[in-house]
Amino acid sequence: MMKILLGSSEVHPYSKTGGLADMVGALARTLARAGHRVGVVTPLYQGIPGRFPELKPLDLPLDFPLGARRVRGGVLGLEVERGLTIYFIDQPGFYQRPDLYQSHGTDYPDNAERFIFLSKAIAHLALHLSWKPELLHVNDWQTGFAPLFIHHQKRLPGWGNVPHSCLTIHNLAYQGLFPAGQYAAANLPWEYFTPDGVEFYGQMNCLKTGIRYAGVLATVSPRYAREITTPEFGCGLDGLLRHRRRSLFGILNGVDYDEWNTSNGPYIKHHYSSGNLRGKAANKLELQREMGLPEDDAIPLFGSIGRLVEQKGVDVMLGALEEMLGTRLQFVLLGTGTPVFQRAYQQLARRFPSKVSVQIGFDEALSHRVEAGCDFVLMPSRFEPCGLNQLYSLRFGAIPIVRATGGLDDTVIDVRENPDKANGIKFAEYSAPALAKAIRKALVLYQAPQLLHQFRQNAMAADFSWKHTATEYLKIYRHGMEGEKSLTESC
């Protein structure tokens, strides 16, 4: 039995803007069900107490210096199931806001303080919880300072025995970069603020801090683990990542198949399975009706769900749709993100009302119905650390059309790779014509019902269950705890 504390700025089902929330929520549950003692530290955002009234205040007062002032907070606990406690950090000034990170497309101006406070709370609980966590696993830039707080504590008298730490990089493109002056909020010696530590070209870099001071590093697919050590994908941190290569592991995320389930999932009207796909056809008609498109099973229905940001290839998707909307197809989009992309897709829907329907917003139930109703799902990402949507699409029998990058390349099989096991369509070049060509292949596949059926069977049979992922994490936790090398040696 291992005692593991996770830290994350979002955790499903309490808060979510993307796959990070799904990953942390599912990893915590899987580890607890395997008999480990697990805690998760995350902010108490607006709306959580109303949805989870069983939350209980814990006797864990928080009172930290944050630069020149002191900030107080509390901790609320939720016993989710045996061995799993969620620790919500209650600091209304920081977290009681309508959105997690930004308002109207602009980051909150105090994000450095908000997430340094969170990192302090995570490190504090890692050091003081009565069940004494032995491994702290943090995620992304928002919690990147926690390994440094632990590292610093270890140097203080009487604190030799601190938890080991692991950082998962879910997305290297978001680093939490702030002006150097914000480092004051950490209340740490300036000796850490060097190019070998927290500093990145004169600025404070929260993700780099985590990469530098965490004992072991993971990212969310094997291909992305290789990619981020190259200048092309390294976002300026490839040198440090190459340096830490021996402590960096690519572990593919899993899928919570209790949640993403076609045979008894709560959000879809007509349940179905690979042995009986009639429900899928019925869901398609429901989705067409819901999205205001002509109901017709014979028209191939494409969909896309996600953050409308450059990473996701939304510009390339717009170009490809422009090229393809002359043909007989429909397209539905569920997404939220950069206002300029939101407007562009809304405009497309206005120009092609019988072919394109766009829903701007975050809607978990609709995301399941889109996967259940679509024939094909587009993910033309510029880069993709893992990607969960394509894994959900596979299970829902919606054939993913993906660019061969990161986790998309690791999880989808193209007919050119393996004709018997093909479950999706891949393209390599990041361009609208390349995606349009892939859409044309999908249209050909749609006209070949037997082959389409075979693709669907392969897709629905693919297994990305969490058990495997959690086992891999346990291996690297152990690796970290055996502490192959001291940090001073490795960096």
Closest by CA position to 458, among listed 274, 243, 329: 274
- Compute the least distance from the CB of residue 360 to ligand ADP, in Å: 8
Nearer to ligand ADP, 182 or 336 (CB): 336
3-class SS string, 90-137: ECHHHHCCCCCCEECCEECCCHHHHHHHHHHHHHHHHHHCCCCCCEEE
| C-alpha span between 98 and 111 (Å, rounded) | 14
- On whether the CB atoms of residues 119 and 7 are closer than 8 A, the answer is yes
Nearer to ligand ADP, 244 or 426 (CB): 426
Using the rule CB under 6 A, is 237 a contact of ligand ADP? no
How far is C-alpha 459 from the geometric centre of its chain's CA atoms?
Answer: 21
Using the rule CB under 6 A, is 262 a contact of ligand GLC? no
- Compute the least distance from the CB of residue 20 to ligand GLC, in Å: 5
Q: Which of 362, 451, 474, 491 binds ligand ADP (CB under 6 A)?
A: 362
- Compute the least distance from the CB of residue 384 to ligand ADP, in Å: 7
- Compute the least distance from the CB of residue 44 to ligand ADP, in Å: 21
Residue corresponding to tokens 């587009």: 378
- Please name the residues in contact with 143: beta carbons below 8 A apart, sequence gap of 6 or more: 7, 8, 9, 115, 118, 119, 122, 167, 210
Using the rule CB under 6 A, is 227 a contact of ligand ADP? no
Using the rule CB under 6 A, is 22 a contact of ligand ADP? yes
How far is C-alpha 121 from the geometric centre of its chain's CA atoms?
Answer: 22
Look up residue 301 and give its DSSP letter: E
Nearer to ligand ADP, 166 or 386 (CB): 386
Nearer to ligand GLC, 90 or 410 (CB): 410
Helices (H) and strands (E) in the chain, counts: 18, 20
Cis ω before 13 (30° cut-off from 0): yes
Show contacts with ligand ADP in window 268-327 (CB under 6 A): 305-307
| C-alpha span between 302 and 178 (Å, rounded) | 40
Q: Which does 334 bind (CB under 5 to 8 A by kind): ligand GLC, ligand ADP, none?
A: ligand ADP
Query: Bridge-partner residues for 379, per DSSP?
Result: 402
- On whether the CB atoms of residues 78 and 52 are closer than 8 A, the answer is yes
Closest by CA position to 242, among listed 222, 226, 219, 218: 226
| C-alpha span between 449 and 375 (Å, rounded) | 12
Nearer to ligand GLC, 219 or 423 (CB): 219
Residue corresponding to tokens 């907070």: 73
Look up residue 270 and give its DSSP letter: S
Q: Provide the sign of the torsion angle of the four alpha carbons 439, 443, 448, 450, taken in this order.
A: positive
- Compute the least distance from the CB of residue 317 to ligand GLC, in Å: 16
Using the rule CB under 6 A, is 76 a contact of ligand ADP? no
Q: Which does 220 bind (CB under 5 to 8 A by kind): ligand GLC, ligand ADP, none?
A: ligand GLC
Using the rule CB under 6 A, is 257 a contact of ligand ADP? no
Nearer to ligand ADP, 9 or 389 (CB): 389
Q: Which of 7, 19, 176, 210 binds ligand ADP (CB under 6 A)?
A: 19
Q: Which of 19, 147, 210, 306 binds ligand GLC (CB under 6 A)?
A: 19
User: Would you give the binding string for ligand GLC spanning residues 157-176, x where CB under 6 A is met?
Assistant: -------------xx-----
- Please name the residues in contact with 72: beta carbons below 8 A apart, sequence gap of 6 or more: 61, 62, 63, 91
Alpha helix segments (H runs only) across 256-326: 278-290, 314-324
Nearer to ligand GLC, 151 or 170 (CB): 170
Q: Which does 252 bind (CB under 5 to 8 A by kind): ligand GLC, ligand ADP, none?
A: none
Q: Which of 2, 3, 13, 18 binds ligand ADP (CB under 6 A)?
A: 18
Site size toward ligand GLC, by CB under 6 A: 14
Using the rule CB under 6 A, is 403 a contact of ligand GLC? no
- Compute the least distance from the CB of residue 81 to ligand ADP, in Å: 22
Show contacts with ligand ADP in window 370-389 (CB under 6 A): 386-389
Show contacts with ligand ADP in window 25-44 (CB under 6 A): none
Q: Which does 362 bind (CB under 5 to 8 A by kind): ligand GLC, ligand ADP, none?
A: ligand ADP
Show contacts with ligand GLC in window 417-436 (CB under 6 A): none
Using the rule CB under 6 A, is 23 a contact of ligand GLC? yes
Instruction: Calculate the CA dihedral of residues 218, 123, 102, 314 and round it to 10 degrees.
Output: 0
Look up residue 295 and give its DSSP letter: -
| C-alpha span between 141 and 451 (Å, rounded) | 44
- Compute the least distance from the CB of residue 53 to ligand GLC, in Å: 29
Residue type at position 98 = P
The tokens describing 410, both together, are 């690791």
Q: Which does 307 bind (CB under 5 to 8 A by kind): ligand GLC, ligand ADP, none?
A: ligand ADP
- Please name the residues in contact with 227: beta carbons below 8 A apart, sequence gap of 6 or more: 233, 383, 405, 406
Using the rule CB under 6 A, is 142 a contact of ligand GLC? no
Q: Which does 389 bind (CB under 5 to 8 A by kind): ligand GLC, ligand ADP, none?
A: ligand ADP
Residue type at position 261 = N
| C-alpha span between 317 and 72 (Å, rounded) | 46
The contact set with ligand ADP (CB under 6 A) reads: 18-20, 22, 305-307, 334-336, 362-364, 367, 386-389
The contact set with ligand GLC (CB under 6 A) reads: 18-20, 23, 170-171, 220, 253, 384-388, 407
